[in-house]
Structure 1
Amino acid sequence: MPSTSGRSARGAGGGSVVTVRVPKMAELVVAQLRRQIIRGELQEGDALPSESELMTRYGVSRPTLREAFRVLESESLISVRRGAHGGARVHTPSRRVAAKYASFMLEYRGVTLRDVYEARVALEVPGVGELARTRTRADLAALLDSLNRHAAAEEEDSRLAIMLHGEFHTLVIQRAGNGTLLLLSEMLQDIIDLGNVSLHADAEITGEQARAAAVRTHRRLYDHIVARDISGAESLWRRHLDESMGYLLGENAAMTVSDLFD
């Protein structure tokens, strides 16, 4: 198959030139393997076939195949170990990787940590209202389990507690039922979790009183959801998120997102 970067064709009557880009063979291999991973045909930890088998399957040379591997490695979809016992293993798409790449765009656009927190408010407040409206017994059981694990962690491990705090926020959006908003929320929450740990690495992460207050607020939200109190849930959550933003960011509101990944 041709590996040229493009072809040109002149329209009837000498019209404008249309350039059609022909994908390189390595890109075609990447596209097929990526599709298999995303569709779940290849699972986390699966070993890809040997290089010789893949070369035969796709009709490509070893350099072309290795170029495809480099692209997939850059996307964190495979890892390659060289040597006699090496090979390529599959990694399913990670929201942490997505958050890291998103941070590059946010940094390019001058986005600050405050912007990320404000975006979380815009996503989560309607989400808790929707969950209060549609919640099921299974939703309530999942929320209560998360609350109980969070409360137990507060007494033993403050770093684990703050991660479980974030888990509850993500769980609320997950149970609200919109997959696109869930992905966005997970990406934002990963950035926020990393920021919380990074900004408070040498101190008690949020302070005992603040952490206890957060647990109480989460339980109050649970009560609103149980009662299907949409306005109460949204009002409480907006206050909680606004207060958390001010407390956790402090003087770091202007810090850029990608600083967290340095």
Structure 2
Amino acid sequence: MCDGSGATMATKGAPKADDDEGVAAARLGNDVVRVPKAAEIVAARLRRQIITGELKFGEHLGPENELLTLYGLSRPTLREAFRILETESLITIVRGANGGVVVNRPRVELASRYYGLLLALSGTPATEVYQAMAMVEPPAVRLLASTDPRRAAETLMRRIDDERRSLDDPPAYARASTAFHETLIELTGNRALLLFAQMLREVIERTIAGAIEESSTPTLHARRRGVRAHEELVSLIGQGRSDEAEEYWGRHLAAAGNALFKNREPPMVLDFFARPPD
């Protein structure tokens, strides 16, 4: 293993690197193969330990001097590894005498922000994001109604109870309604689909929040109508009526989308970046 002036960590059979400009590379036949820098290798090792749970969320990695000895690195190389992980929000570097490096749990909001950036760069309107979200939920509803309808209905009814309790509190109702939609996807058991749906909803909600005036908050009547729609959906799911549940939910989401963007210019995802992250 070499220090920050070098570019590679000693590995069995690793080609010798040329790192004159800070980018390690070696020649393999007629091809130039990039050799990871020491900081990248250490960052990859720590990243894996975080993902596998070997390093727990909230855990301190220890004093810098101990880490230098553990990894056999120079101080600049270790700090470069930390910067890599910090940009990925996997660690937080706490400054000061009692500071150190703390392991973070990655948040959906961070992935959503980068996803939103890509959408903004392509000039995507919020209507397209909503349409994508509306394409995800109806098939999920069909799956719930055709696999374990009773369990799904019981869980979703608890979310509806939360909505009823928050009818007089618009922000609380919005959170309860979001939880209902997320639970629809979560109950499918597909974690990849859940993450995708969460990113879509985060982008659409923050885009709309940044572009629609406060007076557009749904009225109490509209909130009650939303609860009734959720109750009707859960009834169809609980009865195992998968075709009807999917069709009903598709119509509901289409109508909700039309009402959301009615009589206003649809905001662009670019507006998502008008508000700082939470």
User: TM-score, normalized by length of structure 2?
Assistant: 0.85
Deviation at 1:198, TM superposition (A): 3.2
**CA distance in structure 2 between the partners assigned to 1:170 and 1:32 by the alignment:** 33
- Cα gap change, 1:181 to 1:171, in 2 (>3 Å): same
1:14 maps to: none
1:232 maps to: 244
- Cα gap change, 1:204 to 1:259, in 2 (>3 Å): closer
SS at match of 2:58: coil
Deviation at 1:199, TM superposition (A): 3.7
Deviation at 1:204, TM superposition (A): 5.0
Q: Does the CA-based 8 Å contact 1:132-1:225 persist in structure 2?
A: yes
Which amino acid in structure 2 is aligned with residue 51 of structure 1? E
- Cα gap change, 1:167 to 1:183, in 2 (>3 Å): same
**CA distance in structure 1 between the partners assigned to 2:150 and 2:241 by the alignment:** 16
1:115 maps to: 128
1:85 maps to: 98
Moved more, 115-124 or 198-207: 198-207
Unaligned runs of 5+ in 2: 8-18
1:7 maps to: 25
Matched, 1:127 2:140: yes
- Cα gap change, 1:100 to 1:10, in 2 (>3 Å): closer
SS at match of 2:117: helix
1:145 maps to: 158
**Which deviations, in whole Å up to 9, do the C-alpha atoms of 1:131-187 show, x marking residues without a partner?**
1111254433321111100111112x1011112111111110110122211110111
1:26 maps to: 39
2:220 maps to: 208
Which amino acid in structure 2 is aligned with residue 145 of structure 1? R
SS at match of 1:20: strand
**Alignment RMSD, CA only?**
1.8
**Which deviations, in whole Å up to 9, do the C-alpha atoms of 1:68-106 show, x marking residues without a partner?**
222222111111111111111111121111101111111
**CA distance in structure 1 between the partners assigned to 2:63 and 2:37 by the alignment:** 21
Q: How many residues align?
A: 255
Q: Does the CA-based 8 Å contact 2:25-2:33 persist in structure 1?
A: yes
Which amino acid in structure 2 is aligned with residue 193 of structure 1? E
- Cα gap change, 1:33 to 1:234, in 2 (>3 Å): same
Matched, 1:35 2:53: no
SS at match of 2:187: helix
Which amino acid in structure 1 is aligned with residue 110 of structure 2? V
**CA distance in structure 2 between the partners assigned to 1:35 and 1:66 by the alignment:** 18
**Which is helix-richer, 1 or 2?**
1
**Which deviations, in whole Å up to 9, do the C-alpha atoms of 1:185-241 show, x marking residues without a partner?**
111112223234334452252222222111111111100110111111111111121
Q: Does the CA-based 8 Å contact 2:149-2:239 persist in structure 1?
A: no
**Which deviations, in whole Å up to 9, do the C-alpha atoms of 1:38-69 show, x marking residues without a partner?**
22222221112221122122221111111122
1:190 maps to: 202
- Cα gap change, 1:243 to 1:39, in 2 (>3 Å): same
1:241 maps to: 253
Matched, 1:218 2:218: no
Identity %: 37
Matched, 1:168 2:186: no
Which amino acid in structure 1 is aligned with residue 218 of structure 2? T
Q: Does the CA-based 8 Å contact 1:117-1:245 persist in structure 2?
A: yes
2:65 maps to: 52
Q: Does the CA-based 8 Å contact 1:128-1:230 persist in structure 2?
A: yes
SS at match of 2:93: strand
Which amino acid in structure 1 is aligned with residue 215 of structure 2? A
Q: Does the CA-based 8 Å contact 1:96-1:190 persist in structure 2?
A: yes
